Structure 1
Amino acid sequence: MDDLQALLPHLPILAAFAEMGQVTGAAEILAVPQPQVSRSLARAEEITGLTLKQRHGREVRPTKDAIRLGEAAKATLTNLDNTLNDLRSEVRGSVRLAFQHSLGEHVVPQAISAFVPEHPQVDFTLTQGSRSECLEALEAGKVDAAFIAIIPDSMRLESQILMQEQLVLAVPNSHPLAAKSTIHSHDIADQDLIATRHGLGLRRTTDALLRRWGISPRVTFEGQEISTVLGLVAAGLGITIVPSRAYRHEVTLIPFAHKDAVRDLVLVTSAERTLTTAAARFVEVARTLFT
């Protein structure tokens, strides 16, 4: 082990000497004086006890031992160089995300799952909240990106629509509307509606949809999470409008006949701050995944 440690400083010269086949060529490729190459080879001979150079006329050439040792030295140096480059190129750091409650079970996990296998050194900080809370955190620099519904009207933010999510009516399995294949707005005008609370993105989308349709069902219950709202529906306490997904609740999901029963899912970043490498790479992955 002591001999190996003593030999380490001479590996570049051994590799160059074996590759170029002469002292002059090794000196040129390494951009060092010829005497330095000669001294290094002589020291390597002392350490290893091997004959590493031989004269061919006026030139000094590597012996077979020198070629084998030089090739091993080159392989070692190449492996170290590749490893160092890989480590330097790995994306590290953290990504801070904010997202609306209704996107925490679907969109955000998908995006993170697509990102993590290629970038295992990156950590995530997740903040769940209302649409306005997500945007406030983004504008304050507390998060790098936000997943929300509906494009925000702000020059300080950059937005990209990732996808459109279909909205459907959820009713108890025993409800008279459960037998319908599609729902029209007049079908729910007089129904008891269960909704997410004011300030949440899904509530804002639902209210806008009902205004466009010219109806105002009576809101009987409000909840913060979709799972809570669907639990109330399953208990027979009313109906609700939710994104079209697979839910564990015993409810019937019915598509609307109206083409505008959709909402835009948006990825938002700051227009005033440059993203870190990790955050920029995550945003790129998310955009590619959904668009």
Structure 2
Amino acid sequence: MPQPGYNLARFDFVSIRLAVLCAQTGSLTTAARECNLVLPAASRRLKELEAATGCQLFVRHSRGLDITSAGRVFMRRGLALLQEMDGLVSELADLRHGIARHVRLFAGTAAINQFLPPLMAEYTHLHPEVHIDLEEQVSEHVVQALREGRADMGVFVEGPDTEGLDVKDFRQDELVLILPRHHPLVGKSPLAFADALDESWVSLNPGAALLQQQQSAAMAAGRTLKLRMQVRSFDAVGHMVASGLGIALLPKAAALPIVRAMQLSWRPLKDEWAQRRLKVGIRKEADSLVVNFRDFLHLPSQNAKAT
């Protein structure tokens, strides 16, 4: 609930956008120009916004603006509000052009790199009135977004707690080791993950199912994963390995094009956990359109496996 003294009537989207731009640029002049406001009007709006929130959002000085801790909170929340409003305007415009519904799909890197694009293309061809908004997130965040209602559907690697969600199988994939071409571990026979733990590793950012699996497996072996670098994408992982900065695990279907393009080597793992299941989940109260899309993704996945 708003605290006493907050005047929500003073919160309009022009003022919110002005404050966000001030935070991003550190300049009231630049922010005012972007909002098509004269400088005195912009200055007055910013002061009214601070009075309405009861917080000082910026410290003014001769060189521009310094953001306060309250300003950082306002920027983060304000930016989210502006993005939601942009989404609303976009969906209303789509309605005028015959697009009846947006489905918010959150998915992990593995699903996006290996499986989802052709399925999304096929579904939108069959249902041109539906627009799929795809956002890439690590598996933990995909499940969290489902719980919080920020996503209508999620595709993620098995592992996060999915109690209360309606979850079905999506695909399977296989994790393989990728290495510089002349690395001592290069070979064709399957290798135990524990036998590679003396090496430095490159992996994805915190929250990624791939990183969690590596760390769990290292702990089970009584070892520590020597994590040297963390990056956001499979391609970035490949570039780090190609530069000799470490070795890595990637899903085989995504790894093979990277291996060929960057002249790397790959090797299978002996470990059972290297065979992974990907899931597709929705909330139990999801409407019929979301259920239909989930079933479209689920049904072709029977016995399907990454090659």
Regarding TM over 0.5, the answer is yes
Aligned residue among 260, 263, 267 for 1:254: 267
CA contact (8 A) 1:102 1:225 kept: no
1:148 Cα offset (Å): 0.6
State the match for 1:275 in structure 2. 287
For these two proteins, the number of residue pairs brought into alignment is 200
Considering only CA atoms, is the larger Rg found in Structure 1 or Structure 2?
Answer: 1
1:117 Cα offset (Å): 2.5
Separation of aligned partners in 1, 2:291 and 2:225: 43
For structure 1, list consecutive stretches of 5 or more residues without a partner in the other structure.
Answer: 1-89
Percent identity of paired positions between Structure 1 and Structure 2: 22
Cα gap change, 1:240 to 1:94, in 2 (>3 Å): same
Aligned residue among 179, 187, 196 for 1:188: 196
1:136 Cα offset (Å): 2.2
Per-residue Cα deviation, 1:175-233 (whole angstroms, up to 9, x for no partner): 12123432123430211111112212221122223333444341111112121111100
Moved over 6 A (4+): none
Separation of aligned partners in 1, 2:222 and 2:188: 21
1:102-251 to 2 correspondences below 5 Å: 102-245=110-253, 246-248=256-258, 249-251=262-264
Cα gap change, 1:250 to 1:115, in 2 (>3 Å): same
State the match for 1:288 in structure 2. 299
CA contact (8 A) 1:182 1:254 kept: yes
Cα gap change, 1:109 to 1:174, in 2 (>3 Å): same
CA contact (8 A) 2:215 2:225 kept: no
Separation of aligned partners in 1, 2:211 and 2:145: 20
One-letter identity of the residue aligned with 1:266: K
Separation of aligned partners in 2, 1:184 and 1:235: 24
1:93 Cα offset (Å): 2.0
Structure 1, 236-245 or 156-165: larger mean CA deviation:
156-165
CA contact (8 A) 1:91 1:119 kept: no
Cα gap change, 1:146 to 1:240, in 2 (>3 Å): same
